[in-house]
Chains A and B, each alone.
Chain A
Amino acid sequence: MAEPVILEKQGLGFEFKQLIKEPPLVIALVVLFVLGFIFILYPLFKIIIIPQSSDWLRFFNEPQFLRAFQNTMFSSLLSTTTAVVAGFIYAYSMNYTDIPGKKFFRTVVLFPMMSPSVVTGLAFIILFGRRGFITYQVLGLKTDLYGWVGLWIVQSLAFFPLAYMTISAVLKSISPNLELAAQNLGANGFRLFRTVTFKLALPGVLSAFLLVAINAFADFGNPMLVGGNYRVLATEAYLQVTGAWDMPIAAVLSVMLVIPTLGVFLLQKYYLDNKSYVTVTGKPVSGLKRITVSPVTKWCLFAACSCIALLILSIFITILCVAVTKVFGVDYTFTLENFMEVFFRSDALINSWIVSFITAIGTTLLGLIIAFVVSRKKFPGRNLMDFGALLPLSLPGTFIGLALILAFNEGPFAITGSLAIIIVGLVLRQMPVGYRNAISGFKQIDKSIEEASANLGANSIVTFRRIVIPMLKNACSTCFVYSFMKSMNTLSTVIFLVSPQWMLASVSILNLADHGYYGKASATGIGMMVSILITFAIVRLIFKKKINLFEL
């Protein structure tokens, strides 16, 4: 008689069998999948199903739409390249030189992070607009810089901090040992940079490029403010909705916008991540001093960094000046009227705070839970969940917003115009960051610690509550702060979702600037930065931990 062949237990059936042993885990998974279905799959389905074939054809037949597509591509790639080059120079100077004032340079970069990106656009029109301070008041020119040139400058500045942060993280994780080894073998100066440092950093720099590109493709506020007649896909879709209530074509435009971002996302996730030489999550190698550059190079880099820093500073000084004067450019009387208006006579700031606070909690928890099950449990659909949790990273905010109003305008989940839909949109948008953050947190915790907990009698839920959450406290506070800040500042995600009852500060800046109320718009921008800083202080008190924005 033949002996029965023993095979490894694997596959779907086995994974199901394993799951059923832990009912609370099954419930958690079912809830996650149902949420994913309702809030990711269903809206995606809606936005694709709503346009008729004639609507798709219109995109190719009407020149304005194709032009919007070309404009998006051109201006985004241009500003991304500029931002990445500037970001690399800045990051290299911070990590590889001993230029004076590093602390100052690092702090300056945080300003744009803490304010909505439209603030850059706002400062730009105040300085270089039709009645701009510099173009009109100082130089007496009748010209303006609206259009692709203005957009290029504004977006480059607005996305510079993101490029800098990402590249800096990459450079930090390059082991100085490798450079010392190269130097020991005779490579020096530019040769060392070209053959070792740059080669090692390249995959990371490419990743940074793609990350910035996705954000630039999806940028809404700046093209709206300084683009003028130079329309990109995001603004075109918005104008189609608000001007003509033409939902199908807006959906088509949004889908067209997703095609490049999704392409970039897939490229990054499945190609670049595997090519990277450095792990960004790895611990920095301490104790070794990096080789620094020659004095000439050092002062050149110093000059470059100073220019960038001054540009950024000028934005915020402008905003501050405008906020505290009666009519900037005409009447320079000091006033606090704008702040009174923004803080006490408008709900926008409070609304933004409430929305962002709830979003931050939701994002942190959801990211943590998904990361826990994906990195520690085996279940059918695990890869799908990983993909679903990262997917919104590639979806432009306007796309998410539009998909949500299309999906939840009617039917069992009619939540359009409510607080809920804003929060859903923001959580969707921010979750990937929280998820990635938590995943890298889990990578740093030895699996045996959770096994020890199970071994001592705790099931998955107890282990999650008593071991995982406390151990990831730092990752959680970072994630909370980051998604709070992002939610406060985002414009594109919420532009379709706000309603008169639930007006948000970032949208209000855009509206105020559009109507020429620069004083109030600036005051709102500053009010947002202040409320973000206050929230940071509170979180710091609660977690008793200094928030390091550079870790984000």
Chain B
Amino acid sequence: MGQVIVELKNITKFFGASKALDEINLQIEKEKFITFLGPSGCGKTTLLRIIAGFYEPDAGEITINNRRVENVPPYDRNTAMVFQEYALFPHMTVYQNVAYGLEVKNKNKTEIDAKVEEVLKLMQLSGMEKRYPNEMSGGQQQRVAVARALVMDPHALLLDEPLSNLDAQLRESVRVELRLIQKKLGLTAIYVTHDQQEALSMSDMIVVMNKGVIHQFGTPKEIYFCPRTRFVADFIGSTNLVDARVVKEDIPVVSYHGIHLQVKGNYEALVDQDVVVSIRPECIKINKVSKESNFNLPIKILHSMFLGEKVRYHVEDSYGKEWRVDSFDSGEEILEGSAYLNIQSEKSHLIQEQ
């Protein structure tokens, strides 16, 4: 494990009577790209703002770069932030915006000039020093906001849904760019988003949050393929949640109405325990004829949608459960009628019931 740069211990925060954060514990390693992911109101922005110092937690400890900071005001934490609406100073030029933080720190003029120039070059903003924010496009403003934070050389770069105001295409290219810059500079970045694609594509680690608690902290792959809770499974991508009963413990095997399926589990499940299994739509194959397999379920196709790279099926089995299945074998689709579902055993996953 690398050096921990930001550590949160038992962070709790109320807004009036409602608990916005409930005993959050988290260790963020240096030079990693961490994403707080969750639906709106899950507490992710609150947590970010607590790290920045805009809110004080009602309980808990925050350590940034080996220094306890609960009582340190925001201007003394060196956690530069990129705001959702950018919050550029409208009365200052690009140069003045970026230089502001350094000037406040009373750095000398030549040093400021050099640093600002370097960062503007990095963000491909050279030549725009004299422009005012309202003379720039949304994408350019966003670059200025990032430059203004980068120039501070922060212990952790905080990003609060910085891409939400960009159009879809630009968002995609900025994602890549941000990630490359973060790697190049060896920055620790804490990124807040509600967009799972963004989280999966950019992060080293993802913190999935809901209603003020952390549901899972893991790599994008762990989050996607091994969701720990029903919420994570449901929130990230789409999935089929299947009620089943454990029939074998060591290598877990569950039974769904008598049909056995070997699954993965990250906790000990006991025989005869009722469990929920998450199966991603793309991990299911749909066949016209029954195949020799450990999971072979007859179904009826309710509806199929052609989505370009894949076909999404809504099907129903004989027990009345609806399944979602994605098929990427373009050209040989079975678009209606009866068929069989075939599941690859290692792609199914036991999740903890909340």
- Show the binding face of A for B, using Cβ within 8 Å: 6-9, 18, 21-22, 446, 448-449, 451-459, 462, 466-467, 470-471, 473
Contact = CB atoms under 8 A, between A and B. Distances in A.
A22 B149 CA distance: 23
A458 B12 contact: no
Residue with the highest number of chain B CB atoms closer than 10 Å, among A9, A456, A462, A470: A456
A455 B52 contact: yes
Contacts of B245: none
Interface in B10-30: 12, 14-16
B231 interface: no
Majority-rule SS of B interface residues = loop
A456 B152 contact: yes
Contact of B104 (A7, A448, A457, A473): A457
Contacts of A473: 91
A466 B79 CA distance: 20
A195 B53 CA distance: 50
A441 to B, nearest CB: 13
Given A6-B12, A471-B91, A455 B80 contact: yes
A9 B58 contact: yes
Given A448-B83, A448-B85, A454 B74 contact: yes
B148 to A, nearest CB: 7
A449 B92 CA distance: 12
Interface in B63-83: 71, 73-76, 78-81, 83
B101 interface: yes
A457 B58 contact: no
Given A456-B101, A470-B91, A6 B74 contact: no
Contacts of B148: 452, 456
Given A6-B59, A456-B80, A457-B76, A451 B54 contact: yes
A455 B81 contact: yes
A451 B83 contact: yes
A195 B78 CA distance: 57
Nearest to A7: B58
A455 B75 contact: yes
B76 A7 contact: no
A457 B85 contact: no
A470 to B, nearest CB: 5
Nearest to A455: B81
Nearest to B56: A9
Nearest to B92: A470
Given A6-B58, A452-B81, A456-B80, A467 B89 contact: yes
A21 B71 contact: yes
A22 B73 contact: yes
Given A18-B56, A448-B84, A451-B87, 20 more contacts: A6-B58, A9-B56, A9-B58, A446-B85, A448-B87, A449-B89, A451-B83, A452-B89, A454-B53, A455-B81, A456-B101, A456-B104, A456-B149, A456-B152, A457-B101, A458-B100, A459-B75, A467-B89, A471-B89, A471-B90
B105 interface: yes
Interface string B23-60: 00000000000000000000000000000111010110
Contacts of A456: 75, 80, 100-101, 104, 148-149, 152
Contacts of A22: 73
B133 to A, nearest CB: 11
Residue with the highest number of chain B CB atoms closer than 10 Å, among A22, A452, A467, A470: A452
Contact of A457 (B16, B90, B91, B105): B105
A457 B87 contact: no
Contacts of B152: 456-457
A8 B83 contact: no
A9 B89 CA distance: 32
B85 A462 contact: no
Contacts, number: 80
A448 B85 CA distance: 8
A448 B81 CA distance: 11
A379 to B, nearest CB: 14
Nearest to B52: A455
Nearest to A4: B59
Residue with the highest number of chain A CB atoms closer than 10 Å, among B52, B71, B75, B78: B75
Nearest to A14: B56
Given A452-B81, A455-B80, A456-B101, A446 B87 contact: yes
Residue with the highest number of chain B CB atoms closer than 10 Å, among A18, A22, A457: A457
A8 B58 contact: yes
A281 B56 CA distance: 32
B160 to A, nearest CB: 9
Which interface class (under 10, 10 to 19, 20 to 34, 35 or more) fits B? 20 to 34
Contacts of A457: 75-76, 78, 101, 104-105, 152
A6 B14 CA distance: 9
B73 to A, nearest CB: 5
Nearest to A451: B54
Interface string B140-179: 0000000011001000000000000000000000000000
Nearest to A20: B71
A260 B262 CA distance: 83
Nearest to B18: A8
A324 B90 CA distance: 50
B63 to A, nearest CB: 18
13 contacts: A6-B12, A9-B56, A446-B87, A449-B88, A451-B74, A451-B81, A452-B89, A454-B53, A456-B80, A456-B101, A458-B101, A459-B73, A462-B104
A72 B59 CA distance: 59
B187 to A, nearest CB: 16
Contacts of A18: 56
Contacts of B84: 448
Contacts of B91: 470-471, 473
A8 B16 contact: yes
A382 B52 CA distance: 25
B72 to A, nearest CB: 8
A448 B88 CA distance: 9
Closest 4 CB pairs of A and B: A456-B101, A8-B14, A452-B87, A448-B87
A18 B89 CA distance: 26
B161 to A, nearest CB: 12
B100 A453 contact: yes
A22 B85 CA distance: 27
Nearest to A459: B75
A384 B56 CA distance: 25
Contacts of A6: 12, 58-59
Nearest to A452: B87
A452 B79 CA distance: 11
A455 B105 CA distance: 12
Given A7-B14, A22-B73, A449-B89, A455 B58 contact: no
B46 to A, nearest CB: 13
Contacts of B149: 456
A449 B87 contact: yes
Given A18-B56, A22-B73, A455 B85 contact: no
Given A9-B58, A452-B81, A458 B87 contact: no
A6 B24 CA distance: 13
